[in-house]
């Protein structure tokens, strides 16, 4: 079952008009929210980021946080799987094709939920491969916009060579992955690029930095040069669907020892513990 414009209906029955501005212009924003044991993870943070994206494209939020929470809980209840990932998508609605914003047009709201599988154990044990590419996206990458063509093309470069992800470099510095955030480990220090308009402020990125701070893991938030990426001891990828993954091959060169590193192992365990705490009942704090 999916949610479309006020109704819960089967996916096969869900259609939108061709003049939807999401279809015509990619004029909309989205969120991907994992739910563990049927509880949305870090919901308040995801809804705050959604608000930031909506503000970024000047679209009014159709719901309060309490309404979002209620809708998502209903959708999770109607779908299979204890662990699911919710994809929610808001566009500027259906209107005659014109770049300018339409007046008095209701937004299109679409939400679906699919089973969320943990990353394959073999991949966590061996590590994944990545390639690098020049980040040629726009300069509002902090907005989670549905117009993902540059990300699609960049990610496909990785898929073409059987790699997991494309790591993006802009003006000589790391930004993020085509669909993930990237950290490196250098001399036992976890390094994260600073949030800016050039990357998506990842919810998993925040969790990893909070876990590092709470557990005495040395970490720094600063610009990371391409040279530093290439001589990193470890490279870590994070996203809501992939959690934390080790990257052990970059552009066909081994990263560090070529095996998942110690800091990955530590953060991965801390992340699983943190998820377990969430499942035992952390309130999302968004009842208003």
Residues that bind ligand PDD (CB under 6 A): 32, 151, 176, 179-181, 200, 202-205, 238-241
Neighbours of 8 (CB within 10 A): 13
Cα angle value 108/35/158 (rounded, 5°): 80
- Tell me whether residue 94 or residue 163 sits nearer to ligand PDD (CB atom): 163
Q: Nearest approach, Cβ of 96 to ligand PDD (angstroms)?
A: 30
C-alpha distance from residue 141 to each of 29, 30, 46, 88, 171 (Å): 12, 13, 16, 18, 15
Structure tokens at 175: 């930004």
Query: What's the rounded Cα separation, in Å, for the pair 29 and 11?
Result: 20
Query: Is residue 57 classed as helix, strand or coil in its secondary structure?
Result: coil
In the complex, least distance from residue 115 CB atom to ligand PDD, rounded to whole angstroms:
15
How far is 287 from 284, CA to CA, in rounded Å?
8
- Residue with Cβ nearer ligand PDD (95 or 212): 212
Report the residue number, 101 or 123, with the smaller CB distance to ligand PDD: 123
What is the closest distance, in whole angstroms, from the C-beta atom of residue 202 to ligand PDD in the complex? 3
Closest contact distance (angstroms) between CB of 28 and ligand PDD is: 13
Catalytic residue among 69, 144, 242, 275: 144
Active site residue 39: no
> What is the helix, strand, coil percentage profile of the chain, to 5?
30, 30, 40
Catalytic residue IDs: 144
């Amino acid at each position: 079952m999916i949610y479309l414009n006020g109704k819960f209906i089967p996916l096969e029955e869900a259609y939108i008009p061709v003049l939807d501005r999401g279809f015509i212009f990619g004029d909309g924003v989205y969120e991907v929210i994992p739910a563990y044991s049927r509880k949305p993870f870090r919901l308040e943070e995801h809804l705050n980021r959604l608000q930031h994206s909506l503000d970024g494209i000047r679209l009014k939020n159709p719901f309060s946080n309490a309404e979002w929470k209620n809708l998502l809980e209903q959708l999770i209840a109607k779908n299979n799987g204890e662990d699911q990932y919710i994809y929610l998508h808001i566009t500027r609605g259906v209107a005659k094709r014109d770049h300018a914003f339409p007046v008095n047009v209701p937004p299109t709201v679409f939400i679906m939920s699919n089973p969320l599988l943990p990353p394959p154990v073999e991949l966590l044990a061996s590590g994944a491969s990545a390639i690098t590419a020049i980040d040629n996206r726009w300069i509002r990458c902090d907005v989670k916009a549905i117009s993902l063509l540059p990300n699609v093309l960049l990610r496909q470069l990785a898929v073409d060579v059987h790699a997991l992800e494309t790591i993006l470099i802009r003006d000589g510095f790391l930004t993020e992955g085509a669909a993930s955030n990237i950290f490196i480990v250098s001399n036992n220090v976890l390094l994260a690029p600073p949030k800016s308009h050039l990357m998506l402020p990842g919810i998993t990125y925040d969790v990893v930095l909070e876990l590092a701070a709470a557990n005495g893991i040395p970490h720094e938030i600063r610009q990371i040069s391409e040279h530093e990426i290439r001589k990193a001891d470890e490279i870590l990828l994070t996203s809501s669907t992939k959690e934390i993954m080790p990257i052990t091959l970059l552009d066909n060169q081994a990263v560090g020892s070529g095996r998942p590193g110690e800091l990955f192992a530590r953060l991965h365990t801390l992340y699983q513990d943190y998820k377990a705490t969430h499942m035992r009942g952390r309130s999302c704090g968004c009842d208003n």
